[in-house]
Amino acid sequence: MANKPFQYQAPFPLSKDQTEYYLLTREHVSVSEFEGKEILKVSKEGLTLLAQTAFRDVEFLLRP
């Protein structure tokens, strides 16, 4: 079996993100400062909502 010559390809070619996103909620998130930098804080309730929504979406969108 002959080996093909190596041809470099960028591992993650960048292009415009065409993913359709939707807003889950405006609640449960805030911006705070830590060591002079802004960070996003998400409450426990926000993480729970995110996990529940993710499981629901996976169950629906990836069904056979």
**Cβ atoms of 39 and 13 closer than 8 Å:** no
* Domain parsing of the chain, residue ranges: 29-61
- The CB density around residue 53, as the number of other CB atoms within 10 Å, is 13
Task: Give me the phi and psi of 30, to 5 degrees please.
Answer: -155, 165
Residue 2 DSSP label: P
Cα 24 to Cα 4: distance, rounded to the nearest angstrom: 47
Tally: H helices and E strands in the chain: 1, 2
pTM, whole model, 2 decimals? 0.64
pLDDT tens figures, 1-52: 678 899 998 888 788 989 899 999 999 999 999 999 999 999 999 999 999 9
